[in-house]
Every structure is written in structure tokens, then in C-alpha cells.
Amino acid sequence: MTNSQPDGPRVRVALFVTCLVDMFRPQIGFAAVKLLEQAGCDVEVPAQSCCGQPTYNGGDAKDAAALAKRVIAAFEPYDFIVAPSGSCAGMIRVHYPKLLQDDAEWRARAEKLAAKTHELFSFLVNVRGLKTVTQECKAAVAYHDSCSSLRELGVTKEPRHLLSSISGLRLCEITERETCCGFGGFFSVKYPEVSGRMADDKIADAKGLGAGMIVGGDLGCLMHLAGRIARRGEKLAVRHAAELLAGMTNEPAIGEDFR
Amino acid sequence: MSAETRAFPNAARVALKNERLQGALKHLKEGFQVKRAQAFAGIDDPESLREAARAIRANALSRLDELLVQFEARVNENGGHVHWARDAAEARAIVTRILEERGARAVTKGKSMVTEEIELNAHLTRHGIAPVETDLGEYIIQLRDERPSHIVAPAFHLQRDDVEQSFRANHHALDANRALDSRPALVAEARAIMRRHFEAADAGITGANFLVAETGTAIIVTNEGNGDLTRLLPKTHLVVTSIEKVIPTLGDASLLLRLLTRSATGQVITSYVTFMSGPKRQGDADGPEAFHVVLLDNGRSALLSSPAREILQCIRCGACLNHCPVYGVIGGHAYGAVYSGPLGAALDPGLDGIASTFDLPNASSFCGRCDSVCPVKIPLTKIMRHWRNEAFARGLPSGAFGIGLKLWARFARHPRWYRAAASMTARLLRLSAGKSGRIRSFPILRGWFAVRDLPKPARRSFQSQWGKRHR
């Protein structure tokens, strides 16, 4: 349910669900679909694997380019491509054109796809004009900016704006909101102690605000934070912001035991 | 890969457990980040200024050969000498020869990362020449036989009582009962010692923040005035710096200085900005009789034609270190190289080769904050990515990781295989989780499980659930 039903014709949106959501937390995908439908979109899910970011960041540009071409071919027929992740959306929007810059035909196709690819919250607010949601959630919530959303895509106000419309929700601002939580893809696996310390600082920051929950727009960061919280035996729920916005919070928070 | 090349992960772990270092690192925020932010808030349109600074540096690099020749001609006209050093060994030999010709035994030094790069102090000592660092931070780490942990604040990793301990251990005339429990007391002690070194020095060596081609001027910024005393009191002054520091005009210098000091220490201007254009002229009351500039290449001209070229735009402000979340938890020494933080991750592979620096461009979460604070807009993460590509092409990531990545990419190119493999992995992970919502250990991706649990995968993937609903 939305208060402000966006105007204009319905659009055909392909959901880029992301590897992590697909495998670990499908409900984020369903929450995204629900929100997109509320925003006047017809959602489809083309067969998909990964955007190629792990290979790209691992230094294997050749395989990343091959993956990018697959994604472009599968997703270019749609009006828009939306991902519930700043990191995967940023890969398509910012990095695909660079990755394929030496191939004129593919670069043009990459640029076209990049222009219509969006991170979920910025798409809902900036493209579809969604202003508010009608949900209730009595919690003090800290919003965690992923670095890709914050710096690569400049998405900061949109998720906060939508979250603020949830009745009963108190939004806390993380003090060091521009500081990375330490996930960084394979960085978290290759340099676990460094990554873990960065998570500890982020968790302490959120706890210091009296937040009972961390929400964000990137499941990578959230699994990393939730996993660290669990390992330390601390109590702090972690969820994707789309779950709250779509009112899909029946399932336990990330990494919590199923009831 | 040799043990040395993978020294970083271990050094990082040690740094994380070093409580004194961790205590010092807590000051990065108020010491640097906040001050920089305040300084930038005080200027109109900082983005245009950054862009102008980038353009000056990029333009200078594209005319480097011409500007260096112009700089040399002006220095000669001013009565100085320019020496060209292809590598560290040549630079050391040139400096030693000049000092020996001038009969210099006691040498004072202003802060210079290039002399750290060529390991000049150890070399001079072996030749019976005694160099004394005169920047307080550099002096402290010289006493401790350490390397700078930060390009602007070399002793950033230390706390006040570390400094007191070093002074008591090395200043033999120091009265054991004298209190050294405050910063002013430490500074007074250092100043008294330093004064004697300044008076006794036969030669002074400084670095340079910029070299101005149109005037043959080397510029340094300091807050302690030690640079001026190093230059002005001895009979010989040597500037030891690197070729990429040259810029066309004094006007360019003025714009870059505005950004340098604000980005480095949050100052509108440093206490001293020194313009050094040759030896003492006729009628000058003070100044050196001889003025030499040693210009080091050491891999830089090769970088100029590489995808890492833009790292040569760097003006050494340290903002990328100060805002780096990795530097912020491990400090500078763990990088095991002269230049640390994002600057080091982008530059060191170019200077030392990727084989021995493999971890540096990899030990980044690619958060991009360095890119956003760099005053000359160096795309640091882009350059780190270039080095990762180089490393991958040479098979440098450890066997299992490289093969795993390749195999994974092969699967990812076929969504159906990928989903089958993901579903199998999910099943195994779910078995490991049992009734709990998370997994505590697993035979692959051990690094993940070293510090955190893994949330349990879903029973059925999104795509398979979606497929069922929309068939």
C-alpha cells in the first residue's frame, strides 16, 4: 500500500536479484518486487547469475567482460533494470561501460544498459516518484550506507526518505556514515581480521546510537555485519531496508535462528 | 609466492593487536579528518579547485620532459646544479659524492619521503656521514630506528610517552628528574638538541613539495621552521626529490598550496612556506654557498606511460591515508613499504614491482573514500584495480584463489549451471547450519569464517521460487 501512487504508464522492469539475495535471502527479492509493483512496474526476472563483480575486483577483467556481455544481452530488452543492491547496480551502471570500452559495439550496448539500471531505492524515489510507504515498525533503526550506494551512485537521501515514512520507526544516523563496514567482497575473505575490525567499529557506532536494528541496501554488507554480530554474541538485528518498506519482517532477521 | 611477499596479512594482524598503535590511530579522525573538512568548508566551490589542481598536475605530467629541462636551466642560471638519478643507487651515490666533495660530515635533514625511498640515512652513515632528521616526527623515528608510518606525520603511530622513552634513552645529558610529561616539554627538549645540530651542520638536505619550472624554485611547507634552518645555516644545501614534482609556474604553486595544506593538516597555510631558488646571492645575509638539486626517477618515467600514470599527480598530502578505513585500523608500517595507505597501494607496485607488493592494492575494500578526498582527483581505486589485473595476469593470487575465481566465472557464464552449483552449495551450507540460522565453519572461504558466521542460505533460491510462481 502506498500513499502516493506514482502517475504515468506502467513500465517493464527486470529485477536483477543479485547472487546473494537469490541464494541467502529471497524475501528481499520479493520485497523489491512488491515495492516495484506498488510503484507501477511490471516486474520480470530474466534467467541470471552474477554481475561479475567478484571476477572484476579479483583482477580478471577478461572473464568479467564475458559475464557483462551475458548480462547486457539478457537485460537490455527491458525499460529498466533494478537491483536491490548499490554494489551490483553500480557494477552495471559505472563499470560495465569501462570494462567494455575497447569494443565499440559492446560499449554502446553497455552504456545503454547502464543508463537504465538503478539501485532499488533511488529508482523508487527518483524515477517512479514514490514518496512514502504505509507500514509500521516500532524500532530504532540505523541505516548503513554501502560505499557503492553512497559514493558510486550518490544514493543517500532516498532510503532515508522512504524509511522515515514508516510509522513508529526512529531513524538513527550512524556517526561515521562515510566509513566502510569492511565487507568489500573478497576483501572480507582475504583480510578477515582487518575486515572484522572495521565491522566492529561500525557495529559499535550503531549500538552507541541506541539502535536496535541495522538496515541497509546491500546484502553483502549486511551478511558481513550480521555474521560478525552473531560471532560476537551481540544482540542487534540486521535487515535489508526493502523488508521494512514492504512490511515483510515476519521471517527472522539476517542470521537469526528460525523460529 | 615467497614469505616476504605475503608479509602484509601477518603485519596487519600484529598491528590490529598492538594496543598502543590502536590508541594512536584513534586520533586520525579529530587530528586529520575533521580539520580537513573544516578547512574545505571555508572555501568556495572546492570541487572546482580540485579540478583545477588536477588539471595543473595532469598538464605538468604531459610536459614533464620540457618542464624538467626548463627547471634545470633556471637552477643553473640561479647558480645551482641539477643532478639526474635513474634509481636509488644513483641518487645515493650523487648525494654522497657532493657531501664528500664539500667535506661535509654533519648533515641536517628536513622531512623528505624521497630520501626514505632511497634509504639515504643508512647509506650516509655507512660513509661516515651523520645525518640528523630535524622534523620532530622524523627525528623521533630516527632515534627509534623506525620508518615513517605516515607521509605527513611520520611518528603518528607513537604516543607521548613513547617519545619520552626515546628521548631518555638517547639524550644522555638529559636529567633523569626532569619532567617530560607534556608536549611542550618534549618539544623544548627536542629543540635544544636540534639547535646544536643546526649550528654544527656542514650541509643540509631537504625534500621538495613542488619544483617550479619557470623560476627554478623548490618549495617546501613545514610547521616547525626546521626546513629553513636546514637550508640556510649550512654551507651546502641539497634538495633531494623526484622528477614528477615539477609544475610550470608560481601561480600553479599557489593554487596547489591552497589544496595541499588544507588536505594535509586542515591548515589554510602552514607556518612556513619556503621558496628556495639557488645559493646565496651577492648581498644576501644568509644562505648556502652551494645549491644542488637531485632529481630521482626510480621507475617514475616508466609509470608515465602505464595505466597507473595518474598516481604521479600526487602531491603527498596524506588525505587518502587519513580517510582510508584500512589504514585507519592497521596504520602505515603494516604495508611494509615507504608509501602506505591508498597512495602506497597505487604507487608501490610501480616502484617495487607487483610481485613484492601484491597485497597492497588487494587490501582495499574499494570503498572509494580515497578517490573522493584526493585534492588532485587521482582515481586511486582505478589504479589499484590496474595492479590487481597485473597480478592476476601473472598468476600472483595464490593457486587456489586464482583457480577458484576462474572456475566460478566459468559457471557464472551459464545461469543454469550457476544455479545448480549455487543450489548444491546452499544445501551443503544448510546441512552445516543444522537447526541454527547460521554456519560457524566451512571448508571453503575460510577467511569468512575466521571472524564471522555465515547466515544460512534459503531452502529455495529466489529464482526457483519465482519460477514456480510464474510458470
Mean pLDDT of B241-257: 98
Q: How far is A165 from chain B (nearest CA, A)?
A: 27
Q: Identify the structural domains of chain B with CATH numbers, from first to last.
A: 1-42+319-397 (no CATH), 52-298 (3.40.50.10420), 412-469 (no CATH)
d(CA B230, CA B199): 10
* B185-220 per-position pLDDT tens digit: 999 999 999 999 999 999 999 999 999 999 999 999
pLDDT of residue A259: 46
pLDDT reading at B297 higher than 70:
yes
Residue type, B347: L
User: Measured between CB atoms, which of B13, B411, B455 is closest to A227?
Assistant: B455
Three-class SS of residue B471? coil
- Give A194's contacts in chain B (Cβ within 8 Å): 12, 16, 326, 329-330, 363
pLDDT of residue A6: 57
DSSP structure string for B195-257: HHHHHH-SEEEE--SEEETTTTEEEEEESSSHHHHHHHSSSEEEEEEEGGGEES-HHHHHHHH
Phi then psi dihedrals of residue B414, to 5 deg? -125, 95
pTM value is: 0.96
Residue of B nearest to A178 (CA): B369
Q: How far is CA B293 from the centre of its chain?
A: 22
DSSP 3-state helix, strand, coil percentages of chain B (rounded to 5)?
A: 55, 10, 35
Nearest in space to A249 (alpha carbons), one of A211, A202, A215: A215
pLDDT of residue B383: 98
- Flag the least confident range among B138-152, B361-375, B415-429: B415-429
Angle between helices B341-352 and B380-393 (to 10 degrees): 40
pLDDT reading at B462 higher than 70:
yes
Residue of B nearest to A201 (CA): B329
Q: CB–CB of A23 and B405 under 8 A?
A: no
DSSP annotation of A148 reads I
Q: CB–CB of A54 and B362 under 8 A?
A: no
d(CA B272, CA B275): 10
pLDDT of residue B416: 86
Q: Which residue has the cell 516486474?
A: A43
Mean pLDDT of B251-275: 97
Q: CB–CB of B390 and A59 under 8 A?
A: yes
Compute mean pLDDT per 10 residues along chain A, 259 residues long, and list them. 60 97 97 97 95 94 95 98 98 98 98 98 97 95 98 98 97 96 96 98 97 98 98 96 97 82
Q: CB–CB of B450 and A190 under 8 A?
A: no
Residue B409 binned pLDDT confidence (cut-offs 50, 70, 90): confident
Q: CB–CB of A183 and B9 under 8 A?
A: no
pLDDT reading at B3 higher than 50:
no
Residue of B nearest to A57 (CA): B385
Q: Give chain A's mean pLDDT.
A: 95
For chain B, the distance separating the N- and C-terminal CA atoms, rounded to the nearest angstrom, is 51
The CA-based angle B40-B43-B46, given to 5 degrees, is 70
pLDDT of residue A1: 43
Q: How far is B258 from chain A (nearest CA, A)?
A: 25
Kindly state the percentage of chain B with pLDDT values over 90: 89
pLDDT reading at B106 higher than 80:
yes
Q: CB–CB of B448 and A192 under 8 A?
A: yes
Burial of B136 (0-12, 13-18, 19+ CB in 10 A): buried
Q: CB–CB of B455 and A189 under 8 A?
A: no
Nearest in space to B322 (alpha carbons), one of B377, B254, B363, B264: B264
Give residue A31's region: left, alpha or beta (phi > 0; psi -120 to 50): alpha
pLDDT of residue B27: 94
Q: CB–CB of B415 and A49 under 8 A?
A: yes
DSSP annotation of B83 reads E
pLDDT of residue A2: 45
Find which of A22, A98, A198, A238 to mutate to test the B interface (most B CBs within 10 Å of its CB).
Answer: A22
Q: Identify the structural domains of chain A with CATH numbers, from first to last.
A: 11-126 (3.40.50), 131-245 (3.40.50.1860)
